């Protein structure tokens, strides 16, 4: 099981930007599909974006055109660039492998708050 540590969250005004980072352990990072997920208070965790080992990407409709996922295999890191942020983007953001399921183990995530 690869371990992940998220960072980069914070408070930002609507329309602003944030960049999240996810540092991973393990020598197989370059071979696995990585994803970003988020969970708002009182809501279920939801898919945000994924990137394959070949750097093909997929996004949830709610963030398409605003968020960009990328990876640096040499640094064992995956990124999420978030632009044009909306209050409904407020959530704890997590990174993990993709796909995920009932047995997936989650880290602490990083808090993103979009508010004026």
At 95 the pLDDT is 97
Greater confidence, 82 or 1?
A: 82
Query: What rounded mean pLDDT belongs to the chain?
Result: 96
Q: Quick one: pLDDT band at residue 2, thresholds 50, 70, 90?
A: confident
The two structure tokens encoding residue 37: 């997920």
Q: Is pLDDT above 70 for 1?
A: no
Q: What is the mean pLDDT of residues 2-29?
A: 94
From 63, 23, 68, select the one nearest 47 (Cα to Cα): 63
More confident residue, 26 or 111: 111
Taken in order 32, 33, 38, 39, the sign of the CA dihedral is negative
């Amino acid at each position: 099981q690869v371990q992940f540590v998220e960072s980069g969250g914070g408070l930002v005004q609507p329309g602003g930007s944030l960049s999240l980072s996810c540092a991973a352990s393990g020598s197989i990072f370059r071979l696995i599909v990585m994803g970003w997920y988020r969970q708002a208070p009182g809501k279920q965790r939801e898919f945000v974006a994924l990137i394959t080992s070949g750097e093909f990407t997929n996004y949830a409709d709610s963030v398409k055109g605003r968020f960009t996922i990328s990876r640096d295999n040499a640094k064992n890191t995956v990124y999420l660039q978030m632009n044009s942020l909306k209050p409904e983007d407020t959530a704890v953001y997590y990174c993990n492998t993709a796909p995920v399921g009932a047995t997936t183990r989650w880290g602490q995530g990083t808090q993103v708050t979009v508010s004026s």
